[in-house]
Chains A and B, each alone.
Chain A
Amino acid sequence: SQQGEEDPQALSIQEGENATMNCSYKTSINNLQWYRQNSGRGLVHLILIRSNEREKHSGRLRVTLDTSKKSSSLLITASRAADTASYFCATALTGGGNKLTFGTGTQLKVEL
């Protein structure tokens, strides 16, 4: 079963706009991570937020975590065509060891 569910499943925006993706999960976590996957390639790590953190920034990325709602959001500001990719959240469960559980992903398309 999927631990994380991303919303929306697909998102199309114009270059320069902001893109927001949401992730909901079901059980207690140690940390939550976001990954990007370009077509035909492996996943690339973007950012990790620990369960005791509420917000984290990295360049044009902003991640929030609300453990009371079991949800996270990824904001990409001033999007570019090169941001076109699928984005996945992944949770490291409490007591889950070294394992991650991935969501189903959001397909982002940034148009010129």
Chain B
Amino acid sequence: NAGVTQTPKFQVLKTGQSMTLQCAQDMNHNSMYWYRQDPGMGLRLIYYSASEGTTDKGEVPNGYNVSRLNKREFSLRLESAAPSQTSVYFCASRTDSPSAQHFGDGTRLSIL
């Protein structure tokens, strides 16, 4: 039972490079989320998708784009990476109604 799978686990980029972070869930959840976690800041929501075919901005969307490819997959794209985007990125999913979010183990991204 894989749950939420994120790839890659680690990545180093140069400023200006582009990259797509992948996320897939096998729990048939409708909602999916992308967060970033920085020291002392907790988790901040970048984008989310309440259902297949919809996406909405979160608290810190600038510099990112997302694609809800199908019900299972939700990708996060950095078009032109900046050092300020160095962070740990987490993907999560959940069912409808008040319920827990299920998290992947994160992608550790460093931008030089």
Chain B residues at the A interface, C-beta cutoff of 8 Å: 4, 31, 33, 35, 40-45, 48, 50, 58-59, 90, 92, 94, 96, 98-106
Contacts and interface: CB of A to CB of B under 8 A. Distances in A.
Interface residues of A, number: 25
Nearest to A92: B98
A68 interface: no
6 contacts: A42-B103, A42-B105, A43-B103, A44-B103, A97-B50, A99-B33
A100 B42 contact: no
A50 B18 CA distance: 41
B41 A100 contact: no
Interface string A73-100: 0000000000000001010100001111
B92 to A, nearest CB: 8
